[in-house]
Structure 1
Amino acid sequence: MHDVARHAGVSVSTVSYVLTGARPISPATRKRVLAAMAELDYQPNAMARGLASRRSRILGLLMPMDDRGTGATETAFVTGAAEAAARAAHHLLLSPIPAGDVDALRRLASQRILDGALVMEVQMEDPRVEVLRELGVPFVLIGRTRDTTGVPFVDIDFDHTVRGAVEHLLDLGHRSIVFVNHSQEALASGYAPALRTQESFTTVMAEHGLEPLVVTAEDTAAAGRAALRTALVQCPGLSAVLAMNEHALFGVLGELALQGLKVPDDVSVVSMVTSAQVADLATPALTTMTSPGSTLGRLAVEVLLRTLEGSGGPSHQELVTCSLEVRGSSGHLRRTPERTPGGVASR
């Protein structure tokens, strides 16, 4: 740093401010310092900077993963967080520790390599909150627990999202709507998005005097096919599918075709919390309540960094809405197809 300062004709502290962003530096001076760094091939030592500042500049993204991996919708949360961290000269460490493995989380947090943590796949009663509090690790939830008192979070406004999707289908004339949710296991574990959306769907349908039909499915195409068959048995005249499980939804679409039902002529389909990239994989392209994943990832990092800098103030709590994007999979209700007892439409 002394060499860079001499070469650029500035003080060592100015070089430090350019590196850390701790104080504003004029564009001309910053450009001169960066040019000197490039000419001298100066690279700051991250470990040394961490020792001096007592900060690692590493943020942990606690994102439980299973065999299905991550698709485009989930990846948007990660890229949004990673880009925001990089802009602030921080690194993002992805940790796939399961939500219930508090011992593994305690071992990770006890190593003090994380300045703070972002918590994804939040449960209504999430044990990770107490572990992070106990160990004094600053954190922000991308999601919400049941009791949000004093808990910083950014999350999707699931009630607004469900209402928007249902009202879109109602405006098109649909009254027989099935809600395809995540698995019974996810509901039993307290997976917050699944529980919140199902509760909102039941409430909105009841407000309109309609019977709420809910089927659950594992996050696989095979489970989606089975869920659609179950829904047709329970409601042979269903005209719309609202899905909170995009992995199962592609099985739903396949089963609709197998049953001789066209989308959207016979059955309209809306996918909730889905990215545009996933929507375009289907034919016709899916109408979606589009996920704000990248925005939530960015916001979570910004909130966490303000907390680390001591400027966070009271616990930040913010809901972000999904936007309705109408594509080819939803349309006005037409004549309900006559179906055989097995569910296949007669032509």
Structure 2
Amino acid sequence: MATMHDVARLARVSVSTVSYVLTGTRPISDATRARVLEAMAELDYQPNAMARGLATRRSRIVGLLMPMSERGFGATETAFVTGAAAAASDAGYHLVLSPIGAGDLDDLRRLASQRMVDGVALMEVQIEDGRVGVLQETGVPLVLIGRTSDTTGLSYVDIDFDQTVREAVDHLVGLGHRRIVYVNHSAATIAAGYGPALRTRDSFVAAMTGYGLEPLMIPAEDSAAGGRAALAQAMTQAPDLTAVLAMNENAIFGILAELAVRRRAVPGDVSVVSMVTSPAVAELAYPALTAMTSPGSALGRIAVEALLRQLDGTGAHHQQLLPCALEVRGSTCPAARPDNELTGTGLPGG
């Protein structure tokens, strides 16, 4: 494999001159530059990524900022990352994962000031997310995988939570379920302004009241123990519940366990739908979970592609919502007993 010294020898210049041609850090005459480029072509010399980056003033690295929690990554979160990494690789970029959350603004300022990345994609976006302002102030191109409350002038891709929740509720109501409980993320996550938790809460209220039904939401810690506690609370507040809708993958297995302990069969006694879930997670459960399947890989890919268009100056702001897709498996079935109170409410069969 040819080296920079080989190029310098063939072009009859110094190694430093070859370096200057690659990096553009000093002016080089057109004739000398031509000799160096001809030598590189003849030797099939491939400059390393750092040299190419210096020449173009780019690192060819994009960052994916995703805060890490103690629970780590599950299959659903991983799909976002793999989709983003594939899009970056296809364009000749490297993707670097950084655990910078909405509260780590000093760390973000350091990262932005060092210009180690050409642009960033933000995950786990809060309704009011300070990371956006820091990146705008420092001039770092960005795209959101999620949405803030004000998206003016921002590029984002996100799940269409309104449609996703509505279709999940439609599925359960269509099966005759009237007493449906929604298990969300934790109370602390909701209070912190995590976008998906707030949007699904509001969408659940709208979907249920649209059917004339009472919406009951239970927050749950992101753990199996949190799911068990949430189900116990739900049974206390709604002992007649016949369906659970959940957007908390770690809690869902605790929900299923607590139902088993209470001898409530799934789906015979209680139907369960998991939202924003990967097929890999849905099929781990028994019975396999009916789920609103996450478009995570597509969202990661679209976000990075939109970011790279910003870097190339070929794309305007990109704003797009994708719904989850309903995949019916073994955890839902018609309600165990007909509820005559549904008549006249506008529900199926009413």
Determine if the TM-score, normalized by the shorter chain, exceeds 0.5: yes
Distance 1:133 1:228 in 2: 42
Question: In the TM superposition, what is the alpha-carbon distance from 1:188 to its structure 2 partner?
Answer: 0.6
Distance 1:274 1:136 in 2: 35
1:49 to 48, 52, 58: 52
1:68 to 68, 71, 74: 71
- TM-superposition CA deviations, 1:2-21 (whole Å, max 9, x none): 989xxxxxxxxxxxxxxxxx
Aligned to 1:163: 166
Distance 1:135 1:95 in 2: 18
Aligned to 1:325: 327
Give the count of matched residue pairs. Answer: 302
SS at match of 2:251: helix
Match of 1:293, as an amino acid?
A: G
SS at match of 1:73: helix
1:292-307 matches, within 5 Å, as 292-307=295-310
Aligned to 1:107: 110
Aligned to 1:275: 278
Aligned to 2:32: none
- TM-superposition CA deviations, 1:50-99 (whole Å, max 9, x none): 01000110000000011000000000000000001000000001000222
Question: In the TM superposition, what is the alpha-carbon distance from 1:44 to its structure 2 partner?
Answer: 3.1
Aligned to 1:284: 287
CA RMSD of aligned residues (A): 1.7
- TM-superposition CA deviations, 1:289-342 (whole Å, max 9, x none): 0000000000001100111000112x2100011100000001111139xxxxxx
Aligned to 2:254: 251
- Calculate percent identity across the aligned residue pairs: 68
Aligned to 1:8: none
Match of 2:228, as an amino acid?
A: R
1:178-197 matches, within 5 Å, as 178-197=181-200
SS at match of 2:260: helix
Match of 1:335, as an amino acid?
A: R
Distance 1:300 1:274 in 2: 19
Distance 1:240 1:43 in 2: 60
- Structure 1 gaps of 5+ residues are 5-36, 337-347
SS at match of 1:264: coil
SS at match of 1:103: helix
| Structure 1, 42-51 or 302-311: larger mean CA deviation | 42-51
Distance 2:243 2:203 in 1: 17
Does structure 1 residue 334 correspond to structure 2 residue 336? yes
- TM-superposition CA deviations, 1:16-69 (whole Å, max 9, x none): xxxxxxxxxxxxxxxxxxxxx9x9785431110001000110000000011000
Structure with the greater alpha carbon radius of gyration? 2
Aligned to 1:132: 135
Distance 2:278 2:204 in 1: 21
Distance 1:41 1:248 in 2: 55
Distance 1:254 1:130 in 2: 43
Match of 1:113, as an amino acid?
A: M
SS at match of 2:92: coil
Question: In the TM superposition, what is the alpha-carbon distance from 1:246 to its structure 2 partner?
Answer: 1.1
Question: In the TM superposition, what is the alpha-carbon distance from 1:208 to its structure 2 partner?
Answer: 0.7
**TM superposition score normalised by structure 1:** 0.85
Aligned to 2:12: none
SS at match of 1:107: helix
**TM superposition score normalised by structure 2:** 0.84
1:87 to 90, 99, 102: 90
- Structure 2 gaps of 5+ residues are 8-39, 339-350
